[in-house]
Structure 1
């Protein structure tokens, strides 16, 4: 709790002068009012504090000060506090709590909370809040739902930091992908189209060679990598655990890895998850998953991953991204995962859930256009780039179909290039039917991309060829979206476990005799090295579906328990 110091008195005075009367109505379900029983439960674990007009209860860019409940008075939630763009986005009264998803994940706050009048608040430390969430399932659901909704609102309203760079820059794309994959509130300022971007850079003394930049209040990161951005928002680096091995390390935070984290942590295993980019894996590149059990209206891959991560953290698992595994050492009785940058994780059991990386098109000039015009995902980042542009989507599976439908809401034209003879050969029938009925999508069957057209690295069109008669045609395209399958991310394993001819991880009977110990065969998801398991798309013979990956991740934890019991 601090007085109005962070943004300066004038900022507070200006804000209070325009504060609306009353509190903001809760039209979204993101701002529930806690009942008397819940306040009493929290009071036993927290501290009541009086507040004065202008007190800063939560400060944007700093770690949250715990779970804060308004007991008396009104509190404003302010975006860009202390800057010329500051604005009140919410006003909360008695019974409402402050903060959003950072309360649960440990990230910094993405807005500032300012007391509008004298009152009182209840502050509960984060670890004590977790106790309450585990004891009261209904309260837990209420807080989780509200926190997720508030994060979605913050993203939609453009709170948080700014990424300033060219839409054609690979470094800019990496930062935007990291921000989107990790659901971080931010705004993108495109040097190619934003009229005020150049004057902004001049004011900050930044040259074009130093872009992209990340700007957040008085912090300016020049050409940062995702790890620097992660540190800015409070995503802690991996900690050394040499003296005390973990029970379970999960490499890969896709559906399989996150499921293992949830079940492992909830069953008492010390569990840590690392991922090279962020949570969600291949699923995070999907705009909407419509055939996943329990979500009849569908859910985006990033939302599903976000919910799973919060669930894992609730049970005590830790997640870290970016943290790329580069090597595995299984020579001792424990497993050592080496991360890029030199950190290591030592564990009694390991789950390989690194999934697969999108396959590149084998066409001329791909390298020339890949950094500016070729994409392997269809999220809001790609949708913003495709506005009013002609787009070509390549692929005949569900990912390509979902991308075509999603991008049709943004692009000028969408052409779907499919080498199969029919849409439903590899695509779900419901999805194929929807595409066939959509007049915005032009489908080219038994057709493949054979060349790319453009100048100075900017794509203008793709040349496609009909596999039946060899006829070629040119399709206008500013962006090319590629969904033609994937290759497993197993290079980091360095020959430590058995792989099949496609470099997928062998498990169960196909893995051999369990490392040659001659005493037992590998379990269903166990690799050729005892205590090392694999789940999801990286596993040989797996079903490439979100539901099956989640099931395998959960099953792997049961096998981990058996291994740990056997190893004692």
Structure 2
């Protein structure tokens, strides 16, 4: 590392605040002071979650590929969101100028911050911003592969949905890709690979990558019984986990892909109570996960649930990998999956030109090119506005004749004011015009039947969703579209019992959020249902087990 003195990196939007003497003294009550030496490694890329370091004297530097990218002086603390999530380190930090640091063990830090909320909020907010900076900078592990590979797309989606700092290196475009593969001892035909510090993962499945990163995973065939098992980690599932764990229930939260659901990939939620300037879905989810873990929720990602059985008054939840978990009650918050357009050859271009989400990974494909968004709901409106900042031009296709029919008024107003978003009503996609990549789409006017060609290099589809309920047993009543019936709509259960509000036709099994029949598809309502379901769980558990059928 360079030996000359380097200037300290300025604070960036609250990412690198300087702690006051009182705050440092508070942290010192559960930490130890020690001297540092030049070039000492405080923590390294890929190592287990480090402790919190507060610089008391001297300087420390963040390294990327051996180069200094940030310098921190006295009063600053080191670390990012993994201080709260226990993920491995996505950066390397070394001592640039010797001095003294305060070292606070992570477990003691979490206990301290739960009692001192002002300091906790300062540190959490800074860590969330730092995670965003790492994502934008391309820190962390490397995914090397072909953009045409389904497994490459799977790994990129998993990393993006879980907000894991990484850099995508494309075989067809990046001139340094082959050299990286050569150093890793990998041939191009063996891609995709994940390079993580000194380790190389050859086409790992999502669970293998999760273990390498330090994402929590459920223990298979465990014998202990959870009071409440929540399936699905969108807003409803996260709310249930926070309220359940905070009220003393042994709570387990599982999700097949990532925490956050559709809300987690929303660039900005502007109509959520208490956030007048809006909040990104990622930040809302990250705060909720930290909150759930603080109260003791056990989180498992990825953990795909494949079945539900009842045995001797308990519920056995089967996992796709063959494991099982046992719970006294279950909350189903699996939400819904994106609906696909019925257009020939769509599947051939999914992940490269056709997308069903608008995270940074997908949005990169729209940079500087004509882009089309299909849909008339809030997700489509939010995506169109975000893409308008990158794309050459955005066209929003709406099947209905009124933009405000299914979209919030604030979004309609913004779209109507935007000079970079064109809206076409009563319009449907009929064909893709492609030659190796998408070039245009054929659009039909629903009023006249006329068709015309619309330039499009990227296509984003938000036309509703289908519920993720195929894994449920026949005893759970569903409506005609596959959403879960609750309360009176669920009909009488075993022995003629009447399910309570949010309870399914199985006693002790509840549904909350988008997966529930008749639910309002909004973040706030999903959070409310998740919280309300916990109170119903308390009542059901207090009533004791149902008599055997």
TM-score range, shorter chain: over 0.9
Secondary structure of the corresponding residue to residue 125 of structure 2: helix
Relative to structure 1, is the Cα distance of residues 135 and 204 closer, same or farther in structure 2, using a 3 angstrom cutoff? closer
* Distance in 1 of aligned mates of 2:243 and 2:190: 44
2:51 to 66, 86, 90: 66
Render the CA deviation track for 1:6-48: whole Å, top value 9, x for unaligned: xxxxxxxxx1414515x33334222233334443443333333
1:77 match: 62
1:33 match: 18
1:446 match: 426
1:182 to 162, 166, 176: 162
Alpha-carbon RMSD across the aligned residues, in angstroms, is 1.9
* Distance in 2 of aligned mates of 1:203 and 1:94: 38
Long gaps (5+) in structure 2: none
Q: How does 1:548-563 map to 2 (within 5 A)?
A: 548-563=525-540
* Distance in 2 of aligned mates of 1:180 and 1:65: 23
2:40 match: 55
2:456 to 477, 482, 487: 477
User: Does residue 76 of structure 2 align to residue 99 of structure 1?
Assistant: no
On the 8 A contact 1:170/1:372 being kept in 2, the answer is no
Secondary structure of the corresponding residue to residue 74 of structure 1: strand
1:286 to 266, 279, 290: 266
1:9 match: none
Render the CA deviation track for 1:273-310: whole Å, top value 9, x for unaligned: 11111011111232222211122222222222122111
2:3 match: 17
On the 8 A contact 2:374/2:463 being kept in 1, the answer is yes
2:139 match: 159
1:492 to 467, 471, 474: 471
On the 8 A contact 1:43/1:122 being kept in 2, the answer is yes
* Distance in 2 of aligned mates of 1:76 and 1:451: 53
1:532 match: 509
Relative to structure 1, is the Cα distance of residues 303 and 168 closer, same or farther in structure 2, using a 3 angstrom cutoff? farther
1:237 match: 217
Q: How does 1:125-524 map to 2 (within 5 A)?
A: 125-240=105-220, 242-456=222-436, 458-513=437-492, 515-518=493-496, 520-524=497-501
Q: Could you list the structure 1 runs, at least 4 aligned residues long, displaced by more than 6 angstroms after superposition.
A: none
* Distance in 2 of aligned mates of 1:351 and 1:163: 35
Secondary structure of the corresponding residue to residue 144 of structure 2: strand
How many angstroms does 1:378 deviate by? 1.1
Secondary structure of the corresponding residue to residue 68 of structure 1: strand
On the 8 A contact 2:50/2:89 being kept in 1, the answer is no
Relative to structure 1, is the Cα distance of residues 322 and 349 closer, same or farther in structure 2, using a 3 angstrom cutoff? same
How many angstroms does 1:264 deviate by? 1.3
On the 8 A contact 1:77/1:111 being kept in 2, the answer is yes
* Distance in 1 of aligned mates of 2:459 and 2:367: 13
* Distance in 2 of aligned mates of 1:363 and 1:126: 51
How many angstroms does 1:371 deviate by? 4.8
* Distance in 2 of aligned mates of 1:27 and 1:306: 19
How many angstroms does 1:482 deviate by? 0.8
On the 8 A contact 1:167/1:385 being kept in 2, the answer is no
* Distance in 2 of aligned mates of 1:454 and 1:20: 51
How many angstroms does 1:201 deviate by? 2.9
On the 8 A contact 1:329/1:496 being kept in 2, the answer is no
On the 8 A contact 1:511/1:527 being kept in 2, the answer is yes
Render the CA deviation track for 1:351-390: whole Å, top value 9, x for unaligned: 1000000111112222333353221011111111111222
Render the CA deviation track for 1:156-179: whole Å, top value 9, x for unaligned: 222111112223332222111111
* Distance in 1 of aligned mates of 2:282 and 2:245: 21
How many angstroms does 1:341 deviate by? 1.2
* Distance in 1 of aligned mates of 2:368 and 2:26: 53
Secondary structure of the corresponding residue to residue 281 of structure 1: coil
Relative to structure 1, is the Cα distance of residues 533 and 155 closer, same or farther in structure 2, using a 3 angstrom cutoff? same
Task: State which drifts further: 193-202 or 332-341.
Answer: 193-202
* Distance in 1 of aligned mates of 2:262 and 2:61: 38
Q: How does 1:541-552 map to 2 (within 5 A)?
A: 541-552=518-529
Secondary structure of the corresponding residue to residue 316 of structure 2: strand
Secondary structure of the corresponding residue to residue 345 of structure 1: strand
Taking structure 1 as the reference length, the TM-score comes to 0.91
Secondary structure of the corresponding residue to residue 544 of structure 1: coil
On the 8 A contact 1:359/1:484 being kept in 2, the answer is yes
Long gaps (5+) in structure 1: 1-14, 80-84
Secondary structure of the corresponding residue to residue 57 of structure 1: strand
* Distance in 2 of aligned mates of 1:424 and 1:140: 41
* Distance in 2 of aligned mates of 1:558 and 1:241: 28
Secondary structure of the corresponding residue to residue 73 of structure 1: strand
